[in-house]
Amino acid sequence: MPKTLFITGASSGIGAATAHAAVASGWNVALMARSEDKLRSLQNELGDAAAIFPGDVTQEADLLHATSGAVDRFGGIDAVFANAGRGLSKPGTEGGDLEDIRGMIDLNITGLVMTARATLPELRKTQGTLVLTGSAAGRRHIAGSIYGATKWFVHGCAGNMAEEMREWGGRCAVVAPGMVDTPFFDQGAPDKLQPEDVANAVIQIIDAPKRAAIREVFLMPQA
């Protein structure tokens, strides 16, 4: 019976690429994002192996609905990719818009924690794997980067979750890419990773044998 991967931020970019890679590897996928139209288009591409759950990961009711829906459709959840996140329209501590900053922190930190809270009871049943989207920005200091600070949280959270989940046979990992060729980066270095590169790393993590816990995959463009 195919295993099931639950993906947030699934409608485009890394999330959509991971959905394609997972289905190609024999997984079912439960896809959550705010854009219902994009999710439906992705579902049409993936066929019966995909179920969609439009919603916002900062809203507990949406997460619980998506989690229970995935279990009803596929019988359980074997892995979760907490991928939803965003940057700022104008970076910087003083120059950024305060509401924009609050929204980013709510999504990148609170939304991640809420995703874990909603899905951990199902992962406990399957001794499953939780993967968090970190960043190269969460591994080094960048002047004034509040976005980078949220990713430092993600990296710390992944390590702490790995220790917690290990107690009952689960695994937690962080996948940390540099610049990826998605709408998230509309400018910057000309040589970027592709979403498929990150997706392949996620599949490596969740397909690893039970005896092996991959804690972090750090990806950078090979210029």
pLDDT tens digit sequence for 123-133: 999 999 999 99
For the CA atoms of 72, 74, 78, 80, the dihedral, rounded to the nearest 10 degrees, stands at: -70
| Residues classed as catalytic | 147
Note the pLDDT tens digit of each residue in 159-188. 999 999 999 999 999 999 999 977 655 555
Average pLDDT on 82-101 reads 89
pLDDT over 90 at 1, yes or no: no
pLDDT of residue 191: 72
pLDDT of residue 184: 55
Q: Counting beta carbons within 10 angstroms of the beta carbon of residue 39, is it exposed (0 to 12), middle (13 to 18) or buried (19 or more)?
A: buried
CA 213, 158, 10, 121 dihedral sign is: positive
Average pLDDT on 143-153 reads 95
Q: Whole-model pTM?
A: 0.94
Which CATH superfamily is 4-219 part of?
Answer: NAD(P)-binding Rossmann-like Domain (3.40.50.720)
